[in-house]
């Protein structure tokens, strides 16, 4: 299994040698490698068993570093970066040719993000290259929010997991692209759309599609446990499946069910966000055949939670 530790020097050494290291961010753990070295980037795809048509996000310490890798910032992109970086928002910006094709899957934009975690900030400010990092899970599975999550699935494939504790936000970054100066949401995530709108005004959303080739994180089925999962009215689902061993993940209510996880007794959407992926993993490991769950209030981070629940429950094609 991988070594779990908080030794930045070890992480730096491995990354400089072209190896991969799992890194903490405020959203989820990332599987990081030198974004400027195609062999390191190729190793990321192999380790995750991720199709190479699915581009990677490039992580930098700050705006100054981001300028090295992008041609230009639309005005509203700059406003968003100044307002929310470091933080859970990824901007899709015209890339410079310094970024290898493999990182962007040949697209002419690159996803750039400045993560808000002290250890990873330290790492990025020392390195003289940016880090390509997808979520540190096998393709299609639930993203990891603790070092143990990473170790359980990728531990035999990577040497080191930088331990930054449990992720504070717990949902992947919100991805924003631009049509001219018009922001377009490509993935809902850890920064709410309301906050983005407060800063730059109206945004478009471009999310759905079951086979959208430019943003496979938006595949209809993604972020999914191995067990079958259904979303609906928990009470009705329990009575319709009374002969099945069922696990319940509820938002706030206590269903007095033997296998049950309540995301937030106080109805707090932040708490529900950072507990969601752990809850899905825990339930996936319980002795149940079906996970039943429900949508949460559809505002703020609730929109991103509902997006992940819906994709987790979608039929795999
Ligand atoms: O919070 C996060 O964003 C985490 C942490 C580790 O930073 N990373 C993450 O990466 O969620 P990943 O690879 O699991 O999801 C990135 C998503 C993918 O769905 C990919 O298709 C999309 O970002 N993406 C990346 N670059 C893109 C681009 N140039 N155009 C469109 N979509 C892009
Ligand atoms: Mg992912």
What DSSP assignment string belongs to 225-237? -SSEEEES-HHHH
**Residue with the two structure tokens 């040949």:** 106
Position 206 scores a pLDDT of 85
pTM of the predicted protein model: 0.96
Q: What is the overall mean pLDDT for the chain?
A: 95
Q: Report the nearest atom of ligand 1 relative to the CA of 111.
A: 26
Mean pLDDT of 162-186: 97
What is the bridge-based pairing of β-strands 109-113 and 89-94?
antiparallel
Residue whose Cα lies nearest atom 17 of ligand 1: it is 217
Cα–Cα separations (whole angstroms), residue 127 to 71, 145, 226: 21, 24, 37
Query: CA 260, CA 293: separation in Å to the nearest integer?
Result: 10
Which carries the bigger pLDDT value, residue 217 or residue 249?
249
Q: Which of 23, 45, 48, 57 to mutate to test the pocket of ligand 1 (most atoms within 8 A of CB)?
A: 57
Q: Report the nearest atom of ligand 1 relative to the CA of 27.
A: 1
Cα–Cα separations (whole angstroms), residue 90 to 37, 130, 252, 294: 21, 14, 30, 28
Q: Report the nearest atom of ligand 1 relative to the CA of 31.
A: 6
Which carries the bigger pLDDT value, residue 130 or residue 225?
130
User: Using one digit for the tens of pLDDT, what is the confidence trace for 275-296?
Assistant: 999 999 999 999 999 999 999 9
Nearest Cα to Cα of residue 169 among 207, 113, 227: 113
Mean pLDDT of 69-96: 98
Which carries the bigger pLDDT value, residue 8 or residue 208?
8
- Judged by DSSP in three states, 10 sits in helix
Q: Is the pLDDT of residue 92 over 50?
A: yes
User: Using one digit for the tens of pLDDT, what is the confidence trace for 16-45?
Assistant: 999 999 999 999 999 999 999 999 999 999
Q: Which of 23, 135, 146, 224 to mutate to test the pocket of ligand 1 (most atoms within 8 A of CB)?
A: 135
Position 213 scores a pLDDT of 47
**Residue with the two structure tokens 């769950």:** 293
Angle between the 269-285 and 301-313 helix axes, to the nearest 10 degrees?
A: 20
Q: Is the peptide bond before 86 cis (omega within 30 degrees of 0)?
A: yes
Residues 6 or more apart in contact with residue 126 via CB below 8 angstroms: 8, 12
């Amino acid at each position: 299994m991988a070594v779990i530790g908080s030794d930045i020097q070890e992480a730096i050494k491995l990354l400089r040698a072209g190896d991969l290291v799992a890194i903490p961010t405020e959203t989820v753990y990332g599987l990081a490698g030198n974004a400027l070295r195609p062999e390191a980037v190729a190793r990321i795809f192999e380790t995750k068993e991720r199709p190479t048509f699915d581009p990677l996000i490039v992580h930098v310490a700050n705006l100054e570093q981001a300028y090295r890798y992008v041609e230009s910032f639309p005005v509203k992109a700059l406003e968003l970066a100044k307002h929310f970086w470091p933080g859970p928002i990824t901007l899709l910006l015209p890339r410079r040719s310094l970024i290898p094709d493999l990182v962007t899957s040949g697209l002419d934009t690159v996803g750039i993000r400045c993560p808000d975690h002290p250890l990873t900030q330290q790492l990025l400010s020392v390195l003289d290259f940016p880090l390509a990092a997808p979520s540190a899970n096998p393709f299609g599975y639930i993203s990891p929010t603790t070092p143990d999550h990473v170790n359980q699935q990728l531990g035999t494939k990577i040497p080191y997991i930088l331990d930054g504790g449990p992720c504070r936000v717990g949902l992947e970054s919100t991805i924003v692209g631009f049509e001219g100066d018009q922001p377009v949401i490509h993935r809902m995530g850890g920064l709410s759309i309301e906050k983005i709108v407060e800063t730059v005004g109206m945004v478009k959303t471009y999310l759905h599609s079951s086979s959208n080739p430019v943003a496979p994180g938006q595949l209809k089925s993604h972020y999914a446990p191995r067990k079958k999962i259904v979303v609906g009215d928990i009470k009705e689902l329990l009575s319709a499946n009374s002969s099945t061993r069922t696990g319940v993940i509820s938002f706030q209510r206590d269903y007095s069910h033997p296998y049950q996880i309540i995301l937030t007794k106080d109805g707090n959407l932040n708490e529900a966000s950072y507990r969601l992926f752990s809850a899905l993993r825990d339930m996936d490991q319980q002795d149940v055949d079906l996970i039943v769950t429900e949508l949460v209030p559809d505002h703020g981070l609730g929109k991103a939670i509902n997006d992940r629940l819906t994709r987790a429950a979608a039929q795999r094609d």
